[in-house]
Structure 1
Amino acid sequence: MTLIESTTEVNLPVEKVYSFLADLNNHKQLMPENIYNWSSTEDEASFTIQNMAKLAIKISNRVENQEITAIPTEKPPFDVELKWTVTDNGNGGTIAKHIISADLNMMMKMLAAGPLQKLADHQTQKLAEVLK
């Protein structure tokens, strides 16, 4: 399993950051420009990644004010799990970590690990910008 992680700090309480992330409708604001055909509800989202794949995900697990996990609802090119964790930074702010777990063979890892890392980094950066 390949783990791709990206972390950011947001100057808002854990509850506010968790509340934002727990609603997949909000995730459109975190997506890069190569994502299109976005459609979502609070619990599910589907979108197309330009030149890659169409992906549909749903929230599979919520631990209030701690983590949100999303998994594909349709068979993706490889097994993947998207997780956000939120923890208090000790100063009233939040450390948000985005973890993508992907089951990539060596060839897929060479092709997909870079873009997945860029996606995770983009999403954490956008989270910090959106939740100022």
Structure 2
Amino acid sequence: MFIETPKAQVSKSKEDTFNFLNELSNFRQLMPENISKFEVLSENRFLFALKGMPEIVLEKKEQTQFNKIVLGAASEKLPFTLTADIIELENEKSEVVLSFSGEFNAMMAMMIKTPITNFINTLSTNLAKI
């Protein structure tokens, strides 16, 4: 399953946007209002939970300085990645596209597609406000 958000314009340089996303504690600002738990576990891992949903631990899997950050599920039970691609528009303006990619059976994909789409769209919308 692959889901991609529309481009979010951020009023920060490409470097500042990358640094913001690279600091995992900043993801708290991007989370939906129905977040019930958020905790930074280490420099490369954080845990979050939305009301009525199980806790998810994300960890940095890969990064290309100032261009891309890839977060992935720390658990092998639900293998997926969340990628932020950062594009420079001007000195103090950049664009971010978030994409979700995961391997799920058809039933699971059907159940989670809408909540995940809503979740990453909220992250993208909130990113445009930073």
SS in 2 for 1:26: helix
> Does 1:5 pair with 2:4?
yes
Aligned to 1:57: 58
Q: Which residue number in structure 1 is paired with residue 108 of structure 2?
A: 108
**Are the equivalent residues in 2 in contact too, given 1:84–1:97 (CA < 8 A)?**
yes
Kindly state the Cα deviation for residue 107 of structure 1 after the two structures are TM-superposed.
1.1
| Matched length | 127
Q: Are the equivalent residues in 2 in contact too, given 1:35–1:47 (CA < 8 A)?
A: yes
**Percent identity over paired residues:** 22
Unaligned 5+ residue runs, structure 1? none
Secondary structure (helix, strand or coil) at the match of 1:70 reads strand
Give the TM-score of the pair, scaled to structure 2.
Answer: 0.90
The CA RMSD over aligned residues, in Å, is 1.4
| Aligned equivalent of 1:32 | 32
Q: Deviations over 1:67-111 (max 9, x none)?
A: 0111122234x211111110112x332110111112122211211
Corresponding residue SS for 1:53: coil
- Where has structure 1 moved over 4 Å in runs of 4 or more? none
- Give the secondary structure class of the aligned counterpart of 2:3: strand
Unaligned runs of 5+ in 2: none
TM-score, normalisation: structure 1: 0.89
Residue pair 1:49, 1:55 contacting (<8 A) in 2 also: no
2:23 matched to which residue of 1?
Answer: 23
Cross-structure match for 2:45: 44
| C-alpha contact 1:43 1:58 (8 A) present in aligned 2 | yes
